[in-house]
Amino acid sequence: MATCGEVLVKLLEAYGVEQVFGIPGVHTVELYRGLADSTISHVTPRHEQGAGFMADGYARTSGKPGVCFIITGPGMTNITTAMGQAYADSIPMLVISSVQSRSQLGGGRGKLHELPNQGALVAGVAAFSHTLMSAAELPGVLARAFAVFQAGRPRPVHIEIPLDVLVENADALLVSQPVSIARAGAAPAAIEQMSQRLAQARRPLILAGGGAIEAAPALIRLAEQLGAPVALTINAKGMLPSDHPLLIGSTQSLVATRALVAEADVVMAIGTELAETDYDITFAGGFEIPGALLRIDIDPDQTVRNYPPTLALVADARVATEALLASLGMQACVVPSSEWGGARVMRLRAELEAEWDAPTRAQTRFLQTLFEVLPEAVCVGDSTQPVYTGNLTFNPEQPRRWFNSSTGYGTLGYALPAAVGAWLGRRAGGKPGGPVICLIGDGGLQFTLAELASAVEARTPIIVLLWNNRGYGEIKKYMLNRGIEPVGVDIYTPDFIGVARALGCAAQSVEGEAQLRAALSSAGDRQSPSVIEVNEQQWQQSLAL
């Protein structure tokens, strides 16, 4: 007899799942009955939040949903923070949990791991949460989940399986097949209207978000055909190479860039929420789009949020961008202003560079050093000062190479477990993959420090770059700027090198660029995790910028 849990594993294989993250417990052992005989690998984090962050990092580098097996009760409360981060950034994540037997749901009988309503608890951080009331429902609910991942706005999906359903006879489901769904095409009438607007624009501009990553080649051609400057959100970094003459970067929170956006007569926004953490990480307001706004998004609801459009199109970003290119090719386009395009971008970038202060220059040099030594690296960031700086000043050469938790939901401790998942994701499907760097502060690292043991156990040679300023430096600065006496930000700093070595990692502290380069080069050749500690003050003094 094949149980529901065993058939679940077989169906996940059929959907192309290669990796699962989870901590086995008495309520999930039936999910593991068929796992050892499958092609799916398993990584055990040290906390369910780590499982969720690993799945998030895996999804971002592989483009596939990250999958988690989680126990009912505390397992689900632990993973909700990671689900919140994935929900905010539109990351596909499948969380499969156990729950009390059907006759005991909501009974309040004091059962192990019991919650009054687990589905309701996680509904706010999931595209949907479904309780499987019989094994027969399994193929249908998995099809719903993968429909979200394949054709909708990707976000976490939660499926909970009662303990008695997990062991139910599911022989009849062994013939079930995965469902494949294509994304929405581009409505010809809307494409024609948008292309007419763009063809007549004298100062067109493109705002692209993480939802447009797969459209990068077409978007570059569109920008070049229009002579349109391109501003990217953090999750879209790398869609244009760093030296592209039309790349503004991700500086929309700065006054000079906002002035450029305000000059545009037509703005094309693709795959972006146009939200606070996309364009206003100063929380001060002031990002305006006075020109005609054209929006393309896979989510109908999102096309009218924050900034109402002149025209909107619900479609896959790549399909829509390619359709716009084809339509523009059949139209006579107005010649853009000679003061626009590359000339305007060059002036803006020079203006911004002249304004960077010494700490910003020092942290930018730090980031440049990383990618000079390890040019194929992915940098997974936390909420720490060099990450905030890099969001403004650093541009990777390809997408999926720079992402972090400093915007959107804004969780601390994200980067370490997410880097483990990212390393595995780069190798999904047998693909080659370069090194993965976890860039994290001393405060954030203490949130998920135990996941160093998971990285060792999973044989993921991630490179943890610890930016140590002995406390919550960014928050302390924020308090001082608002005239608040700092409280709770000068926290105890442990011996990270000693802890890292005790957990099985290679670890060292470095001073200055030469030592950092040598440490990165050694770490890049290592087959196990490395921790490299950089003292913020020493680094800035070593450069004397």
Domains and CATH numbers, the chain: 4-173 (3.40.50.970), 188-352 (3.40.50.1220), 356-543 (3.40.50.970)
Phi, psi of 199 (to 5 degrees): -65, -30
pLDDT score, position 280:
61
With a CB cutoff of 8 Å and minimum separation 6, the contacts of 220 are 239, 240, 244
d(CA 155, CA 84): 9
User: What is the per-residue pLDDT across 184-203, written as a single tens digit (0 to 9) for each?
Assistant: 899 999 999 999 999 999 99
- Cα 378 from Cα 402, distance rounded (Å): 6
3-state secondary structure of 307: coil
Determine the Cα angle at 481 with ends 480 and 484, to 5°.
45
Task: Record the tokens describing residue 493, joined without a space.
Answer: 């700093």
Given this model, what pLDDT does residue 376 score? 94
- Reported as a pLDDT band with limits 50, 70 and 90, residue 284 is low
Distance CA 55, CA 53 (A): 5
* For the chain, counts of helices (H) and of strands (E): 21, 18
Mean pLDDT of 270-285: 78
The full DSSP string for 360-399 is HHHHHHHHHHHHHH-TT-EEEE-SSHHHHHHHHH---SST
Sequence-ordered list of residues with C-beta below 8 angstroms from that of 266, at least 6 positions apart, any chain = 197, 198, 200, 201, 203, 204, 205, 291, 292, 294
Overall average pLDDT of the 535-543 stretch: 80
Is residue 542 classed as helix, strand or coil in its secondary structure? Answer: helix
Q: What is the tens place of the pLDDT at every residue in 228-238?
A: 999 999 999 99
Across the beta sheet with 230-232, what order do the strands follow? Answer: 247-249, 230-232, 204-208, 266-270, 292-297, 311-314
pLDDT number for residue 473: 83
The whole-number pLDDT of residue 316 equals: 95
Per-residue pLDDT band for 92 (boundaries 50, 70, 90) equals: very high
CA gap 244, 398 in Å, rounded: 12
On whether the CB atoms of residues 92 and 123 are closer than 8 A, the answer is no
Q: Can you read off the two tokens belonging to residue 445? A: 């690292």
Which three-class secondary structure state does DSSP give residue 474? Answer: helix
| Residue 300 CB partners (closer than 8 Å, separation 6+) | 314
Q: What is the pLDDT of residue 281?
A: 61
pLDDT higher than 90, residue 285: no
**What's the chain's length in residues?**
545
Each residue of 131-182: pLDDT tens digit?
Answer: 999 999 999 999 999 999 999 999 999 999 999 999 999 889 888 899 999 8
403 confidence band (pLDDT: 50, 70, 90): very high
Prediction pTM value: 0.94
Return the pLDDT at 444. 95
Pairing of strands 402-404, 436-441: unpaired
DSSP state of 341: H
461-495 pLDDT per residue, tens? 999 999 998 888 888 888 999 999 999 999 999 99
Position 282 scores a pLDDT of 59
Q: Band the pLDDT of 107: cuts 50, 70, 90.
A: confident
Two tokens, residue 486 = 């700092």
Rounded distance between C-alpha atoms, residue 462 and residue 379, angstroms: 10
In 3-state terms, what secondary structure has residue 157?
A: strand
Cα angle at 423 between 156 and 381, to 5 degrees? 70
Residue, of 532 and 108, whose pLDDT is higher: 532
For residue 57, the one-letter residue type is G
Take residue 409 and report the two structure tokens written for it: 């939901």
Which is nearest to 404 in space by CA: 234, 278, 251, 254? 234
* Mean pLDDT, rounded, for 87-105: 90
pLDDT in tens, 6-60: 999 999 999 999 999 999 998 899 999 989 999 999 999 999 999 999 999 999 9
20 has which bridge partners? 42, 67
Q: Which residues contact 15 (CB under 8 A, 6 or more apart)?
A: 142, 146, 178
State the Cα–Cα distance between residues 405 and 85, nearest whole angstrom: 7
Q: Is 388 left (phi over 0), alpha (psi -120 to 50) or beta?
A: alpha
Pairwise CA distance, residues 86 & 379, whole Å: 17
Is the per-residue pLDDT at 283 higher than 70?
no
Q: Tell me how far CA of residue 532 lies from CA of 32, 92, 161, in angstroms.
A: 36, 31, 42
Largest CA distance in the chain: 74
Rounded to whole angstroms, how far apart are CA atoms 341 and 225? 11
DSSP 466: E
Mean pLDDT score, 397-404: 94
The DSSP code for 502 is H
Q: Using alpha carbons, select from 221, 329, 306, 230 the residue that is nearest to residue 270.
A: 230
Average of pLDDT values for 528-532?
A: 97
What single DSSP character describes residue 3? B
> Which residue shows structure tokens 């470095």?
510
Q: Could you tell me which of 200, 201, 194 has the C-alpha nearest to residue 265?
A: 201
> Quick one: which of 378, 412, 422, 395 has its CA closest to 236?
395
DSSP one-letter code for 169:
B
With CA atoms as reference, report the closest residue to 395 among 443, 335, 352. 352
